[in-house]
Structure 1
Amino acid sequence: MNAKPNTAARRNKWGDFVALIRETKPPKLQLIVALVLSLIGTVVSLVIPLFTKNLVDGFSLDSLDPIHIVLLVAAFVAQTVAAGVSIYLLNRTGHRIVAGIRERLWRKLLALPVSYYDDTKTGELTSRVTNDTGIVRGLITEQLSGSLNGIISMIGSIVILLVMDWKMTLVMLIAVPVTFAVMAPLGRQMYRISKGMQDETARFTSVLNQVLSEIRLVKSSNAEPREYENGKAGIAGLYRFGVREGKVQAMIAPVMMLVVMGLVVALIGYGGVRVSSGAMTAGELVAFLLYLFQIVMPATQLSTFFTQFQKAMGATERIVEALRSDEEAYGTGRPVPKEERPIVLEDVRFAYKPGEPVLRGVGFAIEPGKVTAVVGPSGSGKTTLFSLLERYYAPQSGTIRFGADPIDELSLREWRARIGYVSQDSPLIAGTIRDNIVYGTDRDVSREELERAARSAYADAFIRSLPDGYETEVGERGIKLSGGQRQRIAIARALLRDPALLMLDEATSSLDSKSEQAVQEALDNLMRGRTTIVIAHRLSTVVDADRIVFIEKGEVTGIGTHEELFETHPMYREFAVNQLRMHAEAGQGRAGGQEAETEEKSIASRL
């Protein structure tokens, strides 16, 4: 009952593998030359036993012809050169194919939506690009040449043997169905083991990436024993799969050796009887044995190829799965209108998981050139709202419009180019400070522009104090800089983009009290006359906003100015009073207490 589905599945995997190779557009001429040279070397090897047969049957010192010796040496040299060049070209072709697969995977990973990464670990994707493609490369560069040569050698040898002595050949061919009957189930088992090994490798790689990238968190949390156990479990899993793979290989090698030794003994015994009876010559028996080895050795190579092929099928399945995942519609959509328009959310609903709604019918408008503050308790959906505006996700229902146009119908590239986003985490890339400020800018940035953006973000002073200035390496994820420094570089990046829509997610949260006021002034300049939406916990930002949207548990419960919400919204009033109290307490411990007191009085006068 299951035979047909299994056969269809294997055929489908083979089709996926062939399609994957063809889509990389391998150099066909190079591949053909490699295969032709491989064929030449194999043909030469088929002639050598015939020459040996004649030499044995008519051996004498007088029969040694220098021309024959020269031809024999030339044949060996030609075979060696052809094999060497063929192996080189196949290796080059294999690396070219794998480079093409890796390039396609890398492009695909960059084009996949954020939701894909929510459900897939980074280490698993890293394993796809490195380990799985490496398995495919090994099949092409290390096994393909030997297997093709082996098939040609086996077919040629069998044809010659049938012509020489069909009875002896039939005795030898009895071993073929016996070998296949043993090897087929072992191959299927190897496929399952290989697939499990690749999954376990991906999981272990994910653990390594997660732990090593957050090593400071691990150490500060005294989590080394826990992470050691996690890593140890991964290593044990790889060990178990390795042992299972070793068991299968331990069965394959002895079976092949048993078949070979049985054939040799049988053919020598049967051939000896035929030589003694005059049915065949001693030279023919020697040639027969030589051809036997030209069949047996490739058969061993084919068994290895078969094992590697099963591994490659498992790797291909994972690669193809990633390549077939839905991409963001990055290059499609209508051009984004140049004029400023309101951004309107209409009954927007969203959930990361079914049955766990984060936004429940959110609706409000973000007016052009105005500052809209989004306020609410933690977990109310404020950051998710930003993610929807960035189009990292699409609402399950409802619409976000830019004027009259739904934003999901507009060019994603152009839409994101309009947005400057400064998040609470201030992510940086490994590289220099300059690299991070100009990151994502699709034009050449002059030194003057770079320094102007840094000065506006109040980052220029600390950058110049560093030994290498703007060429200072920030380390992985900006670890060599303080939180406030990272935040100011992120603000400088947003300033350089000169965005039409500015989104600030607690953009001053990591700044010290001295830097906070300076950077807030820079942000105020940047926000002036620009459409801005702010996730704010800082009371002065909320008070000065043109419009405040209060969100609770994914629902908008209040919209208005500070004065309006303070009068009509009890939770907002509680938020404002608590913020003022915290602000006052912080101001008492700061230098510049007079300025803090002045600001507090200004805010308090509006409460």
Structure 2
Amino acid sequence: MKKIQKQKTKGWREFLQLIAETKPSKLIIIIALLLSVSTTVVGLFVPLFTKNLINDFSISSLSQGKIVMLGGAIIVQALAGGISIYLLNQVGQSVIAGIRERLWKKLLVLPVSYYDEHQTGETVSRMTNDTGVVKDLITNHLTSFFTGIISIVGSIIAMLFLDWKMTLLMFTAIPLSFAIIMPLGRKMHTISKGMQDETARFTSMINQVLSEVRLVKSSNAETIESKNGKNGITKLLQFGLKEAKIQALITPLVSLVIMVLLVVILGYGGMRVSTGALTPGDLVAFIMYLFPIVMPVAQLTAFFTQFQKALGATERIITILDEEKEIDDSNLTIEDVNQPIHVDHMTFSYKNGDAVIKDISFTVEPGKVTAIVGPSGSGKTTLFSLFERFYQPQSGSIKLGNKPINEYSLLSWRSQFGYVSQESSLLAGTIRDNLCYGINREVRDEELHRVAKMAYADQFIEQLPNGYDTEVGERGVKLSGGQRQRIAIARALLRDPKILMLDEATSSLDSKSEIVVQKALENLMKGRTTLVIAHRLSTVVNADRIFFFDKGTITGSGTHEELLTSHSLYHEFATQQLQIKEEVG
């Protein structure tokens, strides 16, 4: 029991802290609450006016002034209530916008390792569905919670003034209501967490299937994915029905308690009127004061159940916000990048896995082409990720000259790199958008034409109906593989990187496309420090230095001629794999 109470208190605190960190406008909140108080106070005078009207009823007592005052009070109450609700909703919407902005900024600075461990769809669900649950609580229920509390407190004070005995009788409903709400609320919390987890999994599955719809269709997997989708929908339905059962219990039971209370008060009040202890006007006023209590109690019940859902969503949002961001503790910028890059006794392993890079040391000379050769799974691509500081080695370091690269800011370090991979990433948008992606300045058309020409992309771009404003589709699906690679090379040229990394940039292309892309790469490599993961013999032959990787270690280094005679694995690799691919190309 103590553990449950502790978790509940923690949930309240986390929720309130999350709200407070968005820094909502205190002025607007104060104005809204004052209007809510004024609405309640004005509303309290209506039953009192009715009481006097009934006790002293006569045609002559209905003066024009009283009627105007009553009508004015009702109008003021409606206006103040409407403005109060709008202002509280405005604060609520601002709070949710603030939470989403914090969450989005955090997602952008999380390390790549976070995304290795979490599916994209689940993360998207946290950003959309979980914040949506909190939004529903704040915008749809929190306003009624504040106004309801004020209304209940004001009505109880007036009822105590009218008849304290009947008011105490009404209080017997409070423990009964809590006895119903508390256990069902805890059950709702558990169900809601399960619902949000299942929603995240379902979103992840949809995201994966739709992003790889060509694979689904080419594999005739529509039936399989239809079953997977139905399973996910069925699980969501089951959670939804569990929530419905809780709602179906809470609302009628609380309504039953209120109805019984109303009957008891009417009976007891009638007895007191008959004995003369209470006037008919007092009884009518007392019953009228019940309505500002009964209606908010129903709203508070809805708030409580929604709050249990929001607690589960809050936990997941805070989990992401508490994740460690990328290490970037320095503001130091790189002044001279034309220095040797030293890898010094570096070891790296992915989370809970064996070492992928094992105590390697080598030097990349500035302005030279360094080739990384070796069988699949030997750690070549992982090495590139370490160079870009996507991961941190468990031991050892990478240095630019004599300074560890971690001493430079991420912005300064990564701005030195241009990266062209086997499957170059393009975003939905135009060719112009993709070429200029990540560049924080205005790019002139002349620059675009120049880099496109150097990347041998100008001809096919100019043949497109809208030229540089042609939409490329999601992940660039409207372009061929060779065209995507040339766009990626042009993008790298526009960034004018000092260090270039090529990760088997031509391996997935046909021979005709490869020839064009290879020429574009030669333009890109001129005068730059280049690291290339190579599988073509021509690339290896022209490299200034070759390092042969095998199972995470460097087993040989030298020029092509040196390794061909001194390294048996390289000799086999060059004469079989490289040569075979060269012949196939």
Q: TM-score, normalised by structure 1?
A: 0.94
Query: Is structure 2 residue 205 aligned with structure 1 residue 207?
Result: yes
List aligned pairs for 1:110-259, cutoff 5 A: 110-259=108-257
What amino acid does structure 2 have at the position aligned with 1:64?
Answer: L
**Aligned with 1:191: secondary structure?**
helix
List aligned pairs for 1:365-384, cutoff 5 A: 365-384=363-382
What amino acid does structure 1 have at the position aligned with 2:412?
Answer: E
Residues 556-586 of structure 1 show CA distances to partners (whole Å, capped at 9, x for unaligned) of 1111110111111112111211246425643
Give distance in 2, aligned partners of 1:339 and 1:274. 93
Give distance in 1, aligned partners of 2:235 and 2:409. 46
**Structure 1 residues 529-538 or 354-363, which shifts more?**
354-363
Q: Is contact 1:437–1:493 with CA below 8 Å preserved after alignment?
A: yes
Look up the match of 1:280. Answer: 278
Give distance in 1, aligned partners of 2:513 and 2:235. 50
Return the offset for 1:372. 0.6
Look up the match of 1:595. Answer: none
**Structure 1 residues 22-31 or 557-566, which shifts more?**
22-31
What amino acid does structure 2 have at the position aligned with 1:174?
Answer: T
Of the candidates 67, 71, 74, which is equivalent to residue 72 of structure 2? 74
Of the candidates 47, 52, 58, which is equivalent to residue 50 of structure 2? 52
Give distance in 2, aligned partners of 1:525 and 1:273. 100
Return the offset for 1:144. 1.7
Give distance in 2, aligned partners of 1:59 and 1:525. 99
Return the offset for 1:8. 2.8
Change (3 A) 1:584 1:115: closer
List alignment gaps of at least 5 residues for structure 2. none
Of the candidates 474, 479, 482, which is equivalent to residue 480 of structure 2? 482
Give distance in 1, aligned partners of 2:278 and 2:572. 107
Give distance in 2, aligned partners of 1:490 and 1:255. 64
What amino acid does structure 2 have at the position aligned with 1:48?
Answer: V
Of the candidates 29, 35, 38, which is equivalent to residue 37 of structure 1? 35
Give distance in 2, aligned partners of 1:24 and 1:512. 53
Of the candidates 567, 570, 576, which is equivalent to residue 568 of structure 2? 570
Of the candidates 329, 334, 352, which is equivalent to residue 332 of structure 2? 334
Residues 528-557 of structure 1 show CA distances to partners (whole Å, capped at 9, x for unaligned) of 332111000011000110111111111111
List aligned pairs for 1:326-405, cutoff 5 A: 326-330=324-328, 332-405=330-403
Paired residue total? 585
Look up the match of 2:500. Answer: 502
Residues 480-507 of structure 1 show CA distances to partners (whole Å, capped at 9, x for unaligned) of 0011100110011111111111000011
Look up the match of 2:314. Answer: 316
Q: Is contact 1:331–1:413 with CA below 8 Å preserved after alignment?
A: no
Q: Is contact 1:40–1:79 with CA below 8 Å preserved after alignment?
A: yes
Give distance in 2, aligned partners of 1:376 and 1:294. 77
What amino acid does structure 1 have at the position aligned with 2:340?
Answer: P
What amino acid does structure 2 have at the position aligned with 1:338?
Answer: D
**Structure 1 residues 153-162 or 452-461, which shifts more?**
153-162
Look up the match of 2:433. Answer: 435
Residues 69-88 of structure 1 show CA distances to partners (whole Å, capped at 9, x for unaligned) of 11111111111111111111
Give distance in 2, aligned partners of 1:140 and 1:287. 33
What amino acid does structure 1 have at the position aligned with 2:174?
Answer: V
Look up the match of 2:15. Answer: 17
Q: Is contact 1:105–1:322 with CA below 8 Å preserved after alignment?
A: yes
Return the offset for 1:10. 2.1
Of the candidates 428, 433, 457, which is equivalent to residue 459 of structure 1? 457
Give distance in 1, aligned partners of 2:578 and 2:253. 82
Look up the match of 2:268. Answer: 270
Residues 375-394 of structure 1 show CA distances to partners (whole Å, capped at 9, x for unaligned) of 11111111011000011001
Give distance in 2, aligned partners of 1:354 and 1:311. 33
Identity of aligned residues (%): 61
Give distance in 1, aligned partners of 2:218 and 2:404. 46
Give distance in 2, aligned partners of 1:293 and 1:553. 76
Q: Is contact 1:111–1:330 with CA below 8 Å preserved after alignment?
A: no
Give distance in 2, aligned partners of 1:585 and 1:555. 29
**Aligned with 2:350: secondary structure?**
strand
Look up the match of 1:599. Answer: none
What amino acid does structure 1 have at the position aligned with 2:363?
Answer: A
Of the candidates 537, 542, 545, which is equivalent to residue 543 of structure 2? 545
**Aligned with 1:379: secondary structure?**
coil
Change (3 A) 1:80 1:411: same
Give distance in 2, aligned partners of 1:501 and 1:275. 93
Give distance in 2, aligned partners of 1:538 and 1:334. 38
Runs of 4+ in structure 1 off by over 6 angstroms are none
Return the offset for 1:339. 4.4
Q: Is contact 2:537–2:579 with CA below 8 Å preserved after alignment?
A: no
Of the candidates 287, 297, 303, which is equivalent to residue 289 of structure 1? 287
Change (3 A) 1:561 1:369: same
**Aligned with 1:249: secondary structure?**
helix
**Structure 1 residues 93-102 or 128-137, which shifts more?**
128-137
Look up the match of 1:586. Answer: 584
CA RMSD of aligned residues (A): 1.5
**Aligned with 1:62: secondary structure?**
helix
List alignment gaps of at least 5 residues for structure 1. 588-607
Give distance in 1, aligned partners of 2:31 and 2:180. 36
Q: TM-score, normalised by structure 2?
A: 0.97
